[in-house]
């Protein structure tokens, strides 16, 4: 089984273009993206492979930063409630 590595890819005129590096992880491959719409794929034995769920999560963090924790819904301020009389 060949060693798995990662490359940054993008499309141009219907062709898939990959960087010439063998990145050891998703984060360094993401840093190599030089075109809008770039992505990262895994490579083993010269074949492109889809990222695993874990690798996809690493790509999302490397590309867009960590997700902000969801804030709990804020209850309306009781002092602002209006009552009809």
Nearest in space to 49 (alpha carbons), one of 75, 18, 76: 18
Cβ pair 22, 5 in contact under 8 A: yes
Block means of pLDDT (10 residues each) for the chain, 85 residues, are 89 92 96 92 95 96 86 67 59
Please give the model's pTM, rounded to 2 decimal places: 0.74
Distance CA 27, CA 6 (A): 9
Q: What residue ranges do the domains of the chain occupy?
A: 5-64
Residue written as tokens 């790509």? Answer: 59
């Amino acid at each position: 089984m060949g060693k798995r590595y990662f490359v940054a890819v993008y499309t141009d005129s219907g062709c898939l273009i990959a960087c010439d590096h063998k990145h050891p992880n998703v984060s360094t491959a993401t840093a190599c993206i030089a075109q809008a719409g770039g992505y990262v794929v895994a490579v083993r034995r010269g074949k492109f492979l889809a990222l695993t769920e874990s690798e996809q999560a690493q790509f999302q963090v490397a590309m867009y930063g960590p997700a902000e924790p969801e804030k709990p819904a804020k209850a309306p301020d009781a002092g602002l409630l209006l009552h009809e009389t």
